[in-house]
Structure formats: C-alpha cells, structure tokens
C-alpha cells in the first residue's frame, strides 16, 4: 500500500486546511490510518488515528476539538480537517497505516512523503 498526502499549504492563524491521505491497495478499508506531524526542529508526534470502518477515532490532546479525522473507503482516502489552526501546528504532516488503533509511530508503516503546513501568526 502506498500513501500519498496532499492539501498542505500556508494559512493564517485561526484558519482551516483539509489534508488528504490517498492510498492504493485493496486492503485499505481494513487498515487503521494515523496522522503524525513533525514540527521544525522537533520529533515526529502523533496527531490522530481512525479505524478501518471509520467508527473509532483517537486524537492527541493538543488537537482535540480542533481537528477531525475521517475516511472515505470508496475513495481509499483519509482526511484530516484542521480548524482554528495555531502557529504551533506548523509541521510536516504524514499519514501511515497500522493494524490496530494506537499512537506509537513504531507500529505504523507505509509512510507517505508528507505535506507541509505552515501557520502564520
């Protein structure tokens, strides 16, 4: 399975962006998909994850209430709707897949190349 992120860009604080993670492969609907981000000069961190069915979601505390993860298995795509963006959300955002819901990036694979999000103050 290959994952490709898109939708990043430059936005002012308080604005919104929607990221997409498009996948190839027939088993996509069975996979947990997670979003992670790497802020400048920092370690990569967990953002959100969604179950294969889309019924279960899990968020980092730092984005809870502002970000929403969703998926359309018919389009083999997972989305990350980001609202009320803050400069601290500036990062390269990655998606990856896993076999179970978790926030441990070591348990994810098939990482995409990332999409850059920059939030200006």
Residue 29 has pLDDT above 90, yes or no: no
Residue-level pLDDT at 30: 85
H helices of 1-107, in order, are none
Q: Which residues of 81-105 are buried (b: 16+ CB within 10 A; e: fewer)?
A: ebeebeeebbbbbbbbbbeeeebeb
Give the pLDDT band of residue 27 (cuts 50, 70, 90). confident
Q: For position 8, what pLDDT does the model report?
A: 97
Q: Is the pLDDT of residue 49 over 80?
A: yes
pLDDT tops 90 at residue 50: yes
Mean of per-residue pLDDT scores for the chain: 95
Using a pLDDT cut of 70, give the percent of the chain over it.
99
Task: Tell me how crowded residue 36 is: count the other CB atoms within 10 A of its CB.
Answer: 22
| Strand arrangement of the beta sheet that strand 17-23 belongs to | 3-6, 17-23, 77-82, 67-72
Write down the residue that tokens 């389009």 correspond to. 75
Q: What is the pLDDT of residues 52-95, one digit of tens each?
A: 999 999 999 999 999 999 999 999 999 999 999 999 999 999 99
């Amino acid at each position: 399975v290959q994952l490709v992120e898109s939708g990043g860009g430059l936005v002012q604080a308080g604005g919104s962006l929607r990221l997409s993670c498009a996948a190839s492969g027939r088993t996509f609907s069975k996979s947990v998909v997670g979003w992670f981000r790497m802020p400048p000069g920092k370690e990569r961190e967990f953002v959100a994850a969604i179950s294969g069915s889309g019924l279960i979601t899990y968020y980092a505390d730092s984005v809870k209430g502002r970000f929403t993860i969703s998926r359309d298995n018919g389009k083999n795509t997972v989305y990350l709707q980001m609202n009320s963006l803050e400069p601290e959300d500036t990062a390269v955002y990655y998606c990856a897949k896993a076999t179970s819901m978790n926030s441990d990036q070591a348990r994810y694979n098939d990482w995409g190349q990332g999409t850059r999000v920059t939030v200006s103050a």
